[in-house]
Amino acid sequence: LELAADLQRALIENQFAIEYQPVVDLATSRVTAVEALVRWWRGSAFVAPEHFLGPAEDTGLIVPLSEWILRESCREVAAWRASSWDIGLSLNLSARQITAPRFVETVAEALEESGLPASALTLEVIEEMLVEDAEETISRLSELRALGVRLAIDDFGTGYASLAFLRQLPVDMIKIDPSFVSGLGRDETLTLLTRTIVRLGHDLGLIVVAEGIERPEQLEKLREMGCTRGQGFLVARPMAARGVDTLMRTSL
């Protein structure tokens, strides 16, 4: 309850910030996109998303918070693109955000006011979001996809219905959960499962992103498997917008 009041105040007082984690082309190391990740500095103390996203969801504060993240990140990525850096933006969605009134309109407005093309925006969802209000969620996401926005399944492979999810939702990308990537080169089953997911994704015509790359050996295995995109601390850590500015200057 105290956290809920603090969250409300944090929103009014602009205590939230966005960090961006690069997603790269594993063959060329070129940055293809950045994933926006929310950060909360409560005074001088950092509060991890896993501690406040649940309460924000329960209180409904996730809706205005997500709207701020959406508008702010679209604006920042559009500015990087204006410097002729061809990158996309990936955003994590919350279940409550998708079924909130005017969700589709809000995304369309954020694209319009920032000038970010719909095709440069990828919205990441996890299958738990289809547990409640599945029909409503699928129909809102399908409307966005009709506008040209891309959809990704985040944490792919961890839900019991991952494959069924692929049939229910027209997606463009799967992001392989770090629990698979962590085992590359160390665990035979996880290596085999990763290889199978990469092949499955490509056979379905999807972009496959490996998440949580931390060791050179993982990178090597992924390249060998033909996985074309990756993300993780080895490649690049989440960074403030200024860090992305610097990265852009060295990339152009």
Kindly state the helix (H) or strand (E) to which residue 47 belongs, with its residue range: strand 45-47
75: left (phi over 0), alpha (psi -120 to 50) or beta: alpha
* Under rule CB under 5 A, residue 124 binds Mn ion: yes
- 67 versus 154: smaller Cβ distance to Na ion: 154
Distance in angstroms (rounded) separating the CA atoms of residues 158 and 169: 17
Q: Which stretch binds Mn ion (CB under 5 A): 91-99, 187-195, 201-209, 236-244?
A: 91-99
- Amino acid letter at 58? D
Which of the ranges 49-57, 136-144, 184-192, 243-251 carries the binding residues for ligand G, by CB under 6 A? Answer: 49-57
Q: How far apart are CA 59 and CA 224, in angstroms?
A: 46
* Binding segment toward Na ion, per CB under 5 A, in 61-69, 76-84, 146-154, 238-246: 146-154
Is 21 near ligand G (CB under 6 A)?
yes
* DSSP code of residue 187: -
Among ligand G, Na ion, Mn ion, none, partner that 38 touches (CB below 5 to 8 angstroms by kind) = ligand G
- Tell me how far, at minimum, the Cβ of 56 lies from ligand G, in Å: 8
Examine residue 94 and tell whether it contacts ligand G (CB under 6 A): yes
Per-residue mark of binding to ligand G, 190-229 (x: CB under 6 A): ---------------------xxxx---------------
Q: Measuring CA to CA, which residue among 72, 57, 58 is closest to residue 16? A: 72
Instruction: Work out whether 89 is an interface residue with ligand G (CB under 6 A).
Output: no
Contact positions vs Na ion (CB under 5 A)? 154-155, 211
